[in-house]
Chain A
Amino acid sequence: EAGVAQSPRYKIIEKRQSVAFWCNPISGHATLYWYQQILGQGPKLLIQFQNNGVVDDSQLPKDRFSAERLKGVDSTLKIQPAKLEDSAVYLCASSLLTSGRYNEQFFGPGTRLTVL
């Protein structure tokens, strides 16, 4: 079974530039998550999708971050414009449809973003 795919693996940009990350979840997984992991901290949920609808985006900085999952499969996360404090690893995870209980999340390898 193929795992969660993410690209690019690494990205270096200057502040105020834009960047986009792509995630392809495990086939059949209805729920997709984007996490931000700053060095020395645990992952923080940015946004959760169920199929192509947003379940939770309460911690997404909406003035600069956006995410979409148009066909309920792949997802993109965009930052525009980037700030120095956005330097982090961006993890994508997926799980089977949640239905009142926790379903194991499978994580992708992450995209390491450095903002100079």
Chain B
Amino acid sequence: EDKVVQSPLSLVVHEGDTVTLNCSYEVTNFRSLLWYKQEKKAPTFLFMLTSSGIEKKSGRLSSILDKKELFSILNITATQTGDSAIYLCALAGGTSYGKLTFGQGTILTVHP
């Protein structure tokens, strides 16, 4: 059974800090790894990673995948209060196309 474990479970920082969120996984048939941001509503898509070592970047957010060591990290630089959310890591794998297995999420709180 595919498995996704995120750490830390929660994180409290001040505006301007840099944070690194971790996601490790076990999968039988890797297709891709995805990061989502969830505020009070639905998860919104951040990144999809399929290849090792290639950094995806969007503004202050970046992410990279290591398929040998089976983990991914999500970095957020110069954090803002609007970054406060739950960050979810999800794995697309197995035999069912499209099925996502989510981790438990990291709750990020950014104080002014």
Contact = CB atoms under 8 A, between A and B. Distances in A.
Interface residues of B, number: 23
What secondary structure prevails in chain B residues at the interface with A? strand
A100 interface: yes
A48 interface: yes
A56 B90 contact: no
Interface in B81-97: 88, 90, 92, 96-97
Contacts of B90: 42
B111 interface: no
16 contacts: A31-B98, A33-B98, A33-B100, A43-B100, A45-B99, A45-B100, A48-B98, A48-B99, A55-B98, A56-B96, A91-B43, A98-B97, A104-B45, A105-B45, A108-B42, A109-B41
